[in-house]
C-alpha cells in the first residue's frame, strides 16, 4: 500500500505543476498575426501544441507557473508554409558527383535518414509546414510519419508520393517503371488512387515536360487525363497539384480543376481570369531556377543551360507580374531540392518585386498556404486554436521582406522550440 500512497501524494503535488508547465507565455515586441492585425508588446499563450491566447501584454493574463520566454527584441509571424518542396532529394556532396546523378542511388532508408538535414534546414528558414510534391519508394510518407511522431525534426509534411507522369523520360530502358507512370484515363485513375491509398495527401501530376536543366514546357497529359486525376483526388476529399512549365498544360490543368498550378510561364489572360475566378492557386517557383543558376557548378550546368534558365526566370517573373494584376492567388513554393533547403523563403522577394506589399507576400506563405492545404482554421495565423507555429524575426517584416528571408532568429513548431538563435538561446540549436 505504501508505494501506492506515495504515488498518489506525488501525483497530487506534482500534477498541477505539470499542467502549469505545459503553458508557455511568449512575450514579443510585436505580433503580426497573419490576419492583418499588428499587436505591439504582445503575449502569446500556448498550451501543449496550440495557441490559447494572443493579445497586448495588458490584456493577457500569464498564469502563475507558466514558462515565460522573452522575445521582446523580435516580431512574431506565423510559421511559414512552403507550398512546393522535394524533401527526399538529398545530395551528400561526394566529390565528383552531382545532385541529379546521385538521386536514387543511396537507397530509400539511407536517403530518409540523411534527408533530415533538408528538413532541419527548412525549419531554420521559419518553414514549419511543407507540401512535398514528389518522392519515391514511400520516402515522403516515412518522413511525414517520423516527424509527426517526434522522431525527426522537421516541418509538418503534406505529401504526394509518386508524381503521375506519362511514359518516356525520365524512364530508363529496361528499368521497371515507377508507380507514377500512367498513360490514358484508366491508368491515370489507377495511379492516382494507388498513391492516395498508400497515404498521399495530394495528387501530383506532371502535366508538361520541364525540370532540372530542361526548361521546355510541352504538355504531356491530355485534358481528359488531367480531369480524371483531378476527379479521383476530389472524390477522395483530396487535392491535386499540376506541374506545367508551359502555358498549354497549365490552361488544361485549370480547366480540369487543379487546385494549384506549379511553375507555369506565359499563362494566357483567359486562364489567369479563370484562376482568379475559381480560386486556383498559382505556385510560380520563380526562385528555383535562379537557385540552379547560382549553384551551376554543383549541378555541372554549362553556359547554354544557364542561358535557358535565365530566359525561363524572366518569363516566369513576367507571368507573376501579370498574375498579380489579374488578382490570382499565389502561394510561396520554393521547389527546394538538394542544397536548396535553407533558401526556402527567397521566393518572397520575387513577389514583392512583382508588386505585392510585404504583408501580401507574407500571406502567400501563411494564410494562402493554409487555405491551399484546407487548414485555414489551424495553420497560417497566430490566433487561439491555431497550432503554435511561430517565427521570431528581427526587424519589421511589413516594411522589408528581407527581414523574413534573412533574419529568422527563433522558430517554434507545435509548441516546441525548434530553432533558437536568440542571444538568450543555446549556441547550438536543440536537436
Ligand atoms: Zn517540383
Q: 420 CA to middle of ligand 1, Å?
A: 29
Q: 157 CA to middle of ligand 1, Å?
A: 15
Q: Are 116 and 154 in contact (CB under 8 A)?
A: yes
Cα R_g (the chain), whole angstroms: 22
Distances (CA, A) of 420 to 30, 120, 123, 386, 398: 18, 12, 11, 21, 22
Q: 117 CA to middle of ligand 1, Å?
A: 18
Q: 237 CA to middle of ligand 1, Å?
A: 23
Q: 364 CA to middle of ligand 1, Å?
A: 17
- Which pLDDT band holds residue 169 (cuts at 50, 70, 90)? low
Q: 335 CA to middle of ligand 1, Å?
A: 5
Instruction: Identify the bridge partners of residue 204 per DSSP, sorted by sequence position.
Output: 241
Helix boundaries (H) for 115-207: 116-124, 139-148, 184-198
Among residues of the chain, what percentage have pLDDT more than 70?
92
What is the arithmetic mean of pLDDT over 99-126?
A: 97
Q: Are 78 and 33 in contact (CB under 8 A)?
A: yes
Which residues are close to ligand 1, an ion, with C-beta < 5 A? 335
**Pairing outcome for strands 239-244 and 260-263:** parallel
**CA–CA distance, 269 with 287 (Å, rounded to integer):** 23
* Sheet of 23-32, strand order: 50-56, 38-47, 23-32, 67-78, 390-393, 408-413, 416-420
Question: pLDDT of 175-189, one tens digit each?
Answer: 678 999 999 999 999
Q: 17 CA to middle of ligand 1, Å?
A: 47
Question: pLDDT of 216-250, one tens digit each?
Answer: 999 999 999 999 999 999 999 999 999 999 999 99
Average pLDDT, the chain: 94
Q: 136 CA to middle of ligand 1, Å?
A: 13
Please tell me the predicted confidence (pLDDT) of residue 22.
84
Q: 130 CA to middle of ligand 1, Å?
A: 12
Helix boundaries (H) for 181-281: 184-198, 223-235, 247-256, 269-278
Helix boundaries (H) for 286-401: 286-294, 296-299, 303-325, 347-353, 358-364, 367-373
**CA–CA distance, 225 with 232 (Å, rounded to integer):** 11
Q: 44 CA to middle of ligand 1, Å?
A: 35
Q: 134 CA to middle of ligand 1, Å?
A: 7
Please tell me the predicted confidence (pLDDT) of residue 431.
47
**CA–CA distance, 25 with 51 (Å, rounded to integer):** 10
Q: 415 CA to middle of ligand 1, Å?
A: 29
Q: 262 CA to middle of ligand 1, Å?
A: 8
Q: 192 CA to middle of ligand 1, Å?
A: 17
Q: 406 CA to middle of ligand 1, Å?
A: 23
Residue with cell 516541418: 155
Q: Read off φ and ψ for residue 88, nearest 5 degrees.
A: -90, 10
Q: 16 CA to middle of ligand 1, Å?
A: 48
- Which pLDDT band holds residue 424 (cuts at 50, 70, 90)? confident
Q: Are 275 and 324 in contact (CB under 8 A)?
A: no
Q: 84 CA to middle of ligand 1, Å?
A: 6
Take residue 98 and report the three cell numbers written for it.
552531382
Enter the pTM of the model: 0.94
Q: 86 CA to middle of ligand 1, Å?
A: 6
Assess whether pLDDT exceeds 70 at residue 25: yes
**CA–CA distance, 375 with 344 (Å, rounded to integer):** 21
Q: 327 CA to middle of ligand 1, Å?
A: 24
Q: Are 367 and 389 in contact (CB under 8 A)?
A: no
Amino acid at each position: 500500500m505504501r508505494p501506492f500512497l506515495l504515488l498518489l501524494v506525488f501525483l497530487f503535488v506534482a500534477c498541477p505543476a505539470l499542467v502549469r508547465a505545459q503553458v508557455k507565455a511568449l512575450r514579443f515586441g510585436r505580433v503580426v498575426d497573419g490576419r492583418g492585425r499588428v499587436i505591439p508588446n504582445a503575449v502569446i499563450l500556448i498550451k501543449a501544441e496550440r495557441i490559447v491566447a494572443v493579445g497586448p501584454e495588458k490584456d493577457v493574463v500569464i498564469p502563475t507557473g507558466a514558462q515565460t520566454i522573452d522575445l521582446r527584441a523580435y516580431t512574431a509571424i506565423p510559421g511559414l508554409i512552403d507550398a512546393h518542396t522535394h524533401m527526399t532529394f538529398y545530395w551528400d556532396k561526394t566529390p565528383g558527383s552531382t545532385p541529379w546523378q546521385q538521386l536514387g542511388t543511396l537507397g530509400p532508408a539511407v536517403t530518409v535518414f540523411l534527408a533530415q538535414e533538408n528538413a532541419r534546414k527548412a525549419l531554420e528558414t521559419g518553414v514549419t509546414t511543407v507540401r512535398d510534391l514528389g518522392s519515391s519508394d514511400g520516402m515522403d510518407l516515412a518522413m511525414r510519419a517520423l516527424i509527426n511522431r517526434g522522431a525527426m525534426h522537421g516541418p509538418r509534411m503534406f505529401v504526394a508520393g509518386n508524381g503521375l507522369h506519362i511514359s518516356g523520360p525520365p524512364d530508363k530502358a529496361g528499368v521497371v517503371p515507377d508507380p507514377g507512370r500512367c498513360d490514358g484515363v484508366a491508368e491515370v485513375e489507377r495511379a492516382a488512387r494507388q498513391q492516395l491509398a498508400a497515404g498521399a495527401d495530394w495528387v501530383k501530376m506532371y502535366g508538361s515536360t520541364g525540370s532540372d536543366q530542361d526548361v521546355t514546357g510541352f504538355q504531356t497529359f491530355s485534358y481528359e487525363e488531367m480531369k480524371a486525376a483531378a476527379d479521383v483526388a476530389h472524390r477522395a476529399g483530396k487535392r491535386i497539384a499540376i506541374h506545367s512549365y508551359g502555358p498549354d498544360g497549365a490552361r488544361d490543368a485549370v480547366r480540369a480543376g487543379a487546385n494549384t498550378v506549379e511553375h507555369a510561364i506565359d499563362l494566357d489572360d483567359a486562364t489567369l481570369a479563370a484562376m482568379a475566378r475559381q480560386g486556383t492557386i498559382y505556385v510560380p517557383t520563380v526562385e528555383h531556377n535562379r537557385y540552379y543558376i547560382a549553384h551551376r557548378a554543383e549541378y555541372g550546368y554549362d553556359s547554354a543551360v544557364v542561358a535557358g534558365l535565365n530566359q525561363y526566370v524572366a518569363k516566369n517573373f513576367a507571368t507573376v507580374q501579370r498574375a498579380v494584376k489579374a488578382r490570382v492567388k499565389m502561394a510561396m513554393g520554393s521547389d527546394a531540392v538538394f542544397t536548396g533547403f535553407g533558401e526556402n523563403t527567397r521566393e518572397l522577394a520575387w513577389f514583392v518585386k512583382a508588386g505585392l506589399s510585404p504583408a501580401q507576400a507574407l500571406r502567400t506563405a501563411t494564410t494562402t498556404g493554409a487555405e491551399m492545404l484546407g487548414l485555414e482554421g489551424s495553420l497560417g495565423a497566430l490566433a487561439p486554436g491555431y497550432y503554435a507555429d511561430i517565427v521570431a524575426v528581427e526587424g519589421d517584416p511589413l516594411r522589408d521582406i528581407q527581414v523574413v528571408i534573412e533574419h529568422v532568429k527563433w522558430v517554434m513548431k507545435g509548441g516546441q522550440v525548434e530553432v533558437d538563435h536568440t542571444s538568450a538561446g543555446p549556441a547550438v540549436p536543440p536537436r
